[in-house]
Amino acid sequence: MSESEAPEEEEAAEAEPEAVADAKLFGRWEIADVEYADPSTQRYVTVTPVAHTMGRHAGKQFAKSDISVVERLVNRLMIGEENTGKKQQSMRVVRDAFELVHERTGENPIQVLVRAIEYSAPREETVRLKYGGISVPKAVDVAPQRRVDQALKFIAEGTKNASFKSPTSAAEALASQLIGAADGDVSTYSVNQKEEKERVAAAAR
């Protein structure tokens, strides 16, 4: 290797982290300025410019927390026999929904998604304990990772319920879910489900 080639390689290595830092989700949305209001879920709400990791973390336990929360939302939208395996279609739905969110709120849609997850994540739920053959509900705290899982599940379910056999498109339904949840609107499906879980848990304390 010549001496002239070495500095060029060093410059390329230094430029690579900068290029990653400047990368945008879907080539449009900044990820650097996303803020977190809930410190308990911040570790599990990962934001990266990569929306499709090709199943890189599929075989590792709990590695889902290293995947972008946007890709996890895309994967959640695929659950159900009608949408199984349709990842490109689900990504288009999320991309279009982000455009709608930006048009309506003027905010970065990734920030809206993070806030929607924080408002939709239940803090308490119930488990069933058996005492001598009698099943008794007991309130328990929800682990932070499960809180994020539940929030994504509620958002995906709300999207499906609003768009299935309906003139409302999936992107429109998802945008409405994200905006409503980010505002803490109880009439939004995901926030309503979270409130219901916490209400049942409060009665089982």
pLDDT, tens digit (0-9, with 9 covering 90-100), for 65-93: 888 899 999 988 988 777 778 888 889 99
User: What's the whole-number average pLDDT of the chain?
Assistant: 85
Q: What is the pLDDT of residue 21?
A: 53
Q: At what angle do helices 69-77 and 144-163 cross, to 10 degrees?
A: 50
Question: Which residues contact residue 149 at a Cβ distance below 8 angstroms, ignoring those fewer than 6 apart?
Answer: none
At 162 the three-state DSSP class reads helix
CATH number of 58's domain: 1.10.455.10
Domain that includes residue 129, residue range: 5-203
CA atoms within 13 A of residue 162's CA, in its CB half-sphere: 22
Identify which has the larger pLDDT, 171 or 22.
171
Between CA 45 and CA 149 the distance in angstroms is 10
Q: Which tokens belong to 141? A: 């705290």
Q: What is the pLDDT of residue 67?
A: 85
Centre a 10 Å sphere on the Cβ of residue 112 and count the other Cβ atoms it contains: 22
Question: Which residues contact residue 181 at a Cβ distance below 8 angstroms, ignoring those fewer than 6 apart?
Answer: 115, 116, 117, 119, 120, 155, 188, 190, 191
Task: Tell which residue, 66, 65, 37, 68, has the closest CA to residue 144.
Answer: 65
Q: Which band of pLDDT confidence, cut at 50, 70 and 90, is reported for residue 193?
A: very high
At 139 the three-state DSSP class reads strand
Identify which has the larger pLDDT, 202 or 50.
202
Instruction: Answer yes or no: is pLDDT of 9 > 70.
Output: no
| Contact of 151 with 121, CB cutoff 8 Å | yes
Q: Which tokens belong to 68? A: 């972008």
Instruction: State the total domains in the chain.
Output: 1
Q: Which band of pLDDT confidence, cut at 50, 70 and 90, is reported for residue 173?
A: very high
Distance of CA 87 to the CA centre of its chain: 15
